[in-house]
Structure 1
Amino acid sequence: MSDRFLTGKTALITGSTSGIGAAYATALAGAGANVVINGFGDAAAIAAQCAALADASGAGATYSDADLTDVAATERMVAAAADAFGGIDILINNAGTQHVAPVDEFPVAKWDLILALNLSSVFHTTRLALPYMKSKGWGRLIATASAHSKAASPYKSAYVAAKHGLAGFQKSVALEVAQRGITANVISPGYVWTALVEGQIPDTMKARGLTRDQVINDVLLEKQPTKQFVTPEQVAALGLFLCRDEAAGITGANLSVDGGWTAQ
């Protein structure tokens, strides 16, 4: 298996300026892919990230600042990515957001945002990218879900609903394209130490009346028998494998990288 097995292919990765998404981008660029990253962040840091990705791939790396809750912006992002590199071969939907609150106190605007970004944006990027994959008879659709696509936690009703929906969506797409050389899978990490996880600690402290250390040890890592956070690189390594021809028989799957959380 060549380390540059993605040479000539193009990957669009949402939510990839940091965390798991950035790890996906690094892994795929290292295998030779053109990479289009998306998200928010410091302009200089993003420019440096693109330069590093292009250097690693020996190919292209571009950035889109599209707000994925804006359908028109999403359409422009996909079209620009395809125009730049002649199509899209790999789509990794990784963008997401979270809010923690009791359901009867859950802000309606936060519910709408979480469903729009974590679920509806996946529909839009997928419907837009699929024609390019169909035209080539090859494609990889990967979505970052969560252990919360298989199990629930209190105070996360919107996130749990979106991730359950995401898993079901990918299954349906997998069946539709099963004979087209395209696979569609979900990767469901447990708790990964990212800005998203760190950002929900204060809300969880408030909702449960706990200290920061109690949230980390008694809420987050309590779920994971390994008692360790999953790393972005571990998630990205699975995503990279799913892009190999050897993974062509894996489709419609929800693959856990959760330190044993959902084995319980």
Structure 2
Amino acid sequence: MTAPLAPPGLHTTSLDLGGRTALVTGAAGGIGRACALRLAGAGAKVRAVDRDAEGLAALADRARGLAGTVEPHVLDLTDLDAAELAAAGTDVLVNNAGLQLVRPVEEFPPDVFHTVLTVMVEAPFRLIRGALPHMYGQGWGRIVNVSSVHGLRASAFKSAYVTAKHGLEGLSKTVALEGAPHGVTSNCVAPAYVRTPLVEQQLTDQARAHGIPEERVLSEVLLTDSAVKRLIEPEEVAEAVAYLCAPQASFMTGTSLVLDGGWTAH
């Protein structure tokens, strides 16, 4: 099964980030790339963070001519001290970076479990910690954590990812409570399966875990709980991120903007 594309002509939120600095993790591809381009298009100076130097260079080339800029910042988020330093002085922080491994709990490598939680929970904590002093000092900041429907629901064979996303949801809510008196909002965006390399790389593992051919994974595993039978496009997620940075979302904090095609309506 080939999942249909999103309808063309995505309308964009009115957003002016001129003079603002944004940091986006996992920016070399997928959702992070779309977010970096969207925020740069709104005038932000974007610090694009990723391990993939080649992907970041391609992103910077793609961003030429936009109202803002994209500055590549090669960084492995398991270096937590460096992550915290990288976030200093940012007005908008998008915690997006993630990784996935599909295995039953009894076969899940403990070192991978540790790495997933480091990149997807500890690193966002350190990035937020690095960003908040500047945000508090100016009385304005936007933190958007790219969670997942798996921050709200569980799926078999994804113990590390589900644990990390649930942790990220809790961190985001705590930051929202602390940040509210300082003009800082903290929210999650929680999409279902997005058309990204991370999802594409799951197909083989999902087929093995569920005992079905790879070509059946999309229809019988990934999209089975979604009422809307397609993958989400990265640009749709980026538009939700942009909305949370816009003035009309200033009262929206401590919540999750769910983009799950009806998954959690069951």
1:30-49 matches, within 5 Å, as: 30-41=41-52, 43=54, 45-49=55-59
2:221 corresponds in structure 1 to 219
- Contact (CA 8 Å) 2:63, 2:70: kept in 1 or not? yes
- Secondary structure, counterpart of 2:87 in structure 1: helix
2:65 corresponds in structure 1 to 55
Deviations along 1:210-251, one digit per CA (max 9) or x if unpaired, are: 111211110001121111111111111011011111110000
Q: Distance in 2 between matches of 1:223 and 1:11?
A: 34
- Which of 249, 260, 263 matches 2:262? 260
1:84 corresponds in structure 2 to none
Of stretches 166-175 and 46-55 in structure 1, the one that deviates more from structure 2 is: 46-55
CA RMSD of aligned residues (A): 1.6
Q: Are 2:87 and 1:78 aligned?
A: yes
Post-superposition offset of 1:42: 5.4
The aligned length equals 255
Post-superposition offset of 1:54: 4.4
Structure 1 letter corresponding to 2:158? K
Post-superposition offset of 1:30: 1.1
Q: Distance in 1 between matches of 2:197 and 2:73?
A: 20
Post-superposition offset of 1:65: 1.1
Higher RCO, 1 vs 2 (CA within 8 Å, ≥6 residues apart): 2
1:176-195 matches, within 5 Å, as: 176-195=178-197
- Secondary structure, counterpart of 1:56 in structure 2: coil
- Contact (CA 8 Å) 2:85, 2:130: kept in 1 or not? no
Q: Distance in 1 between matches of 2:213 and 2:183?
A: 49
Structure 1 letter corresponding to 2:18? T
- Secondary structure, counterpart of 1:179 in structure 2: helix
TM-score (norm 2): 0.92
Post-superposition offset of 1:39: 1.2
1:212-251 matches, within 5 Å, as: 212-251=214-253
2:32 corresponds in structure 1 to 21
Structure 1 letter corresponding to 2:45? N
2:8 corresponds in structure 1 to none
Q: Distance in 2 between matches of 1:54 and 1:123?
A: 31
- Secondary structure, counterpart of 2:202 in structure 1: helix
- Secondary structure, counterpart of 2:65 in structure 1: helix
TM-score (norm 1): 0.92
Q: Give the structure with the larger helix fraction.
A: 1
- Contact (CA 8 Å) 1:29, 1:54: kept in 2 or not? no
1:92-171 matches, within 5 Å, as: 92-171=94-173
- Contact (CA 8 Å) 1:35, 1:53: kept in 2 or not? no
- Contact (CA 8 Å) 2:15, 2:42: kept in 1 or not? yes
- Which of 176, 179, 193 matches 1:174? 176
Post-superposition offset of 1:46: 2.6
Q: Distance in 1 between matches of 2:53 and 2:70?
A: 17
Structure 2 letter corresponding to 1:105? E
Q: Percent identity?
A: 43
- Secondary structure, counterpart of 1:104 in structure 2: helix
Task: Find runs of 4+ consecutive structure 1 residues off by over 4 angstroms.
Answer: 1-4
- Contact (CA 8 Å) 2:228, 2:261: kept in 1 or not? yes
1:64 corresponds in structure 2 to 73
Post-superposition offset of 1:23: 0.6
Structure 1 letter corresponding to 2:36? A
- Contact (CA 8 Å) 2:25, 2:32: kept in 1 or not? yes
Post-superposition offset of 1:127: 0.3
Q: Distance in 1 between matches of 2:77 and 2:232?
A: 26
